Structure 1
Amino acid sequence: MAPKVLIVLSSHDHFPANGKPTGWYLPEFAHPYHVLKDKAELVIASPKGGEAPLDPNSVEMFKNDPVSADFLQNSQELWKNTVKLADVLPKVNEFDAVFYVGGHGPMYDLHYDPTSLALIQSFSEAKKPVSAVCHGPTVFLRATSASGQPLLTNASAVTGFSNVEEDQAGLTSLMPYMLEDELVRVTGGQYVKADQPWGEKVVVSKTSNGAVLITGQNPASATGVGQEILKALGVN
């Protein structure tokens, strides 16, 4: 029987600082989906349910990426009909892992979302893999174990979108906080990144309660995160 993976998208569609559109980032869903779709049963959820906002900049940036282009053309029902997170929470025992797609949207909703934080706690307490890519690891910053210990306390390594990448994307001035800085702070300096900006970096660690923790730095790391999810689930 195929494992069941929950994929979580942001419901937040704009930058509060200037009102311009954002959301979840196309290749960070498309590439893991491409890796997982034939090996796992996938359920797509978001805080609000219904259509989860796709960042239009990611569509333009990755228009020449075959995996993203195919996903955009043929898989729209996945993000236009998401399940509401609150409806998933009572069914955590049905799932084997959770994966958070990146994009700037999660910085504004999933970072704080109490249902998402409860979901992460439930997965990690059950020793089920928790994973995220790019800005997605923001969802772990406020997450705790059932005992109240920060989930990232004992992580040997964690990654996420770097300060240099945010600067090069020209979006640092819009950020409510810098993800790299917060990951450094919460983990006590265990943040790691690729040798070069935009290079692939995927790290596998453990949460404070012993669940597998998988994080990827940027869009180039999305495929690798999908592959590590399968490894953590024992799927070849």
Structure 2
Amino acid sequence: MILTSHSGMENTDGKTGVWLGEFTDPYYEFIDAGYHVELASQKGGRPPVDPMSELTENVTGSNRRFQDDEVAKAAFSHTKVLDQVSAAEYDAVFYPGGHGPLWDLANDNNSGILILDFLDSGKPVAAVCHGPAALISAERQRPGFLRGKILSAFSNTEETLVGRSGNVPYLLQTKLEELGAEVKTAFVPFLSHVEKDGLLITGQNPLSAGPAAKALINLLTGHAESGIEE
């Protein structure tokens, strides 16, 4: 799992970072399915956490489980540096959201190369909410990569409704569409929505994090059954 290291927002003193539930919900889906999960971030160490994701109304069951999980908390506090991660060592990669990826992972060449390495090796890539911003760096490495891709991501409507459309460098849905992707979203904002396009799985918002992880697990299981995945 690749996490953001960015905490600043534009035109405000408010902070961002990893949206905690978008990390913990998928993390425990993977753990409970028997996978070993390693964590990395652009800068390594403990990633910033979006304060809003720790408010009572946004706390999920997996958040509470995480608070009592010393192993997971230690892993979160000591993430690997992104440029030390090799696709050859893993079966899949998952990018949680929080607004941070709009700044760092969207512009990180190592992240873009890593995404392409996974896909070129026949290994799945999943991202949720603002995590799909990481795909922008893959597009930069391989122009045309996003053309025709069917994705989901945090919508322009949702960005406006959470009141942060003036605090981000661009609207993610608009940016992905400008790069040629078709962004599909739930009919009603903030409902879960996941899209699968080949080896690429994307989820729209925090409620989509767990379902996106389940879709990734199903894809990995299908690979294992067909003998593609080791």
TM-score (norm: length of structure 1):
0.87
Partner residue in 2 for 1:4: none
**Counterparts of 1:62 and 1:14, CA distance in 2:** 23
> Which one of the candidate residues 145, 156, 164 is aligned to 1:151?
145
Deviation at 1:41, TM superposition (A): 1.2
> Which one of the candidate residues 184, 208, 211 is aligned to 1:192?
184
Which consecutive aligned stretches of 4+ in structure 1 deviate over 3 angstroms post-superposition? 61-64
**Counterparts of 2:120 and 2:140, CA distance in 1:** 7
- TM-align CA RMSD: 1.8
Alignment of 1:67-86 (within 5 A): 67-74=62-69, 75-86=72-83
Structure 1 gaps, min length 5: 1-6, 207-211
* Residue type at the aligned position of 1:193: T
**Counterparts of 1:30 and 1:13, CA distance in 2:** 18
Partner residue in 2 for 1:3: none
* Residue type at the aligned position of 2:76: W
Is 1:41 matched with 2:41? no
Structure 2 gaps, min length 5: 225-230
Deviation at 1:143, TM superposition (A): 1.0
Deviation at 1:154, TM superposition (A): 3.2
**Counterparts of 1:37 and 1:115, CA distance in 2:** 26
Deviation at 1:94, TM superposition (A): 1.2
Report % sequence identity: 35
Distance change >3 Å, CA 18–CA 227, structure 1 → 2: same
Note the alpha carbon deviations across 1:170-221, whole angstroms, 9 max, x for none: 1001111001111222235x11000100011001003xxxxx0000000010
Partner residue in 2 for 1:161: 154
Specify the SS of the correspondent of 1:204.
strand
Partner residue in 2 for 1:219: 206
Count of residue correspondences: 220
Q: Greater helix percent: which structure?
A: 2
**Counterparts of 2:190 and 2:162, CA distance in 1:** 11
Partner residue in 1 for 2:164: 171
**Counterparts of 1:68 and 1:134, CA distance in 2:** 17
Partner residue in 2 for 1:32: 26
